[in-house]
Structure 1
């Protein structure tokens, strides 16, 4: 019975999908109107987020059973799978949206490097004044993130081989190969040869355990992980329909859809990072935040490009000039923030100001 209660998110996700499946077009946004559509959007959003928390929980249990390198990889692949499914679903809903992938990946970078990092540094700094972390580990993340972000989100805007910010076939191939190779080298550094630089400098053995979760057998958590992931994928198209309809009905900017997807995907990891920062485990918070950004650029870009190529969809990754300026400013400030072994709440306030500028631009550039 206790095991059944722990899988309530997955069961709820399947039940919600069954309701929409058997209801058919009777619950379509065009029929129910803007008010009920927003209510149904809230139900789907809450269900998908609940299932996402269950995915993270099972991944952490597998990390305990298999060891941290494999657990990190499992969690990363699960989260990236959710993100790719949601992006493709929204790209396929209604009129194909070629900028959906770009908006989502830019949102992930802004939310992680400015929103989550800012909140973690502010909360941790106010509680512990100065916090320490492993400088080499943060630099490893940023050394991969900076070129991948420029390759994917900036370079396509300035090349002439494809219209607008789209990728030419050569660029698409280069992006896929380079992203996978760089991320693969980074994983080797993080998990095999230099794993010590991603650990808290003053950590004890107790700091690496997962004390707040109940670990069961490996088959149980493997089935549980896929059982929580499947409802998210099944509900992704419904979520996309209601997001698109709600944005059109409210007259909200199109970029808001990317922000919603990014916030949904990052919520479980973001809360884990904030808790780690409040417990003075800044290295874990850094690993979660910067790792999410690197994985998004390193794995989501190739995934979306491959899926779009197979399905014949146009993908526009190149940012507009104001967004490029904010991205470069964010990367520059991040290099300054993680250029010292100690942080304070001042850096958190600076990153949150950049996040506020990003939110302002969503509505100002529409």
Structure 2
């Protein structure tokens, strides 16, 4: 596999495959947890258990310090009150960022790049900003007086911040962690949520600003499909009767009747996204059984039979998030973006070491006519 313009990750079509630091993403899913994926994505090395414990404690501690009076929380809440969407509210919250505090909180992680501190604080902030958005949306029925979770590691606290119910089993919690790993990267700089932070950091903005730009790239055609997929699963789960096949068909037919696309199926590059089959395999390895998983299988069979489409990462991870107790579709998309911040950060670190606009003036002038006119 040849990575294009980056040493971090890349995609191939023959065979259809995603790689991060020379390792297939499907091998990482179930082979590494979310905390372990952070140093691996940033450096290409697996960190020792004691180093991972230190990283986990730093992330959990940062999230635990973002209460309702925190500037970032207040900014996200104010944005939510105006009717802002998830990505807009998180972006607003990230503008209440304290770089000095981040450097102090994540000091001593010498197995990571120096620039990582500011980025890791962004990752750890996302669950709290999602909590603010959920509680201050105009239609919210949640209590406003939120306090961050203080028990467990970072992934447990992140899930508790956005879920409406605890995972029904330890296996469902592990499956949630697996789903986070699917989002860390694998496509190089092609995804908008990676490309935009790379472009932004090249202009000299702070790391948290470039990461916020990545959230600004989350729209209905990118990340939004995870929101729609989770919403479809939740709508089918809420139906009082009917088989999984009947319920998911009613939901899909209702979406199609509105002239909308079915989020979570098909892919702009792959004939078959390799991530959903691996997540299905993980569910079997973990011995998982859940109504959402039955709906996932029914949806896959229906979409293949009627539309010749296979699931992509959005429908697979939307199912995993629903199984973990996340019932708000926007929160599901936001937690997927939290996973993506790791890939964003790795690309920001790599990109910042290059010339401001990516190449020297002489190179830009030489190759300008070779840029495809329809590329951007």
TM-score (norm 1): 0.24
Larger helix share, 1 or 2:
1
Q: Which has the higher contact order (CA 8 A, sep 6+)?
A: 1
TM-score (norm 2): 0.24
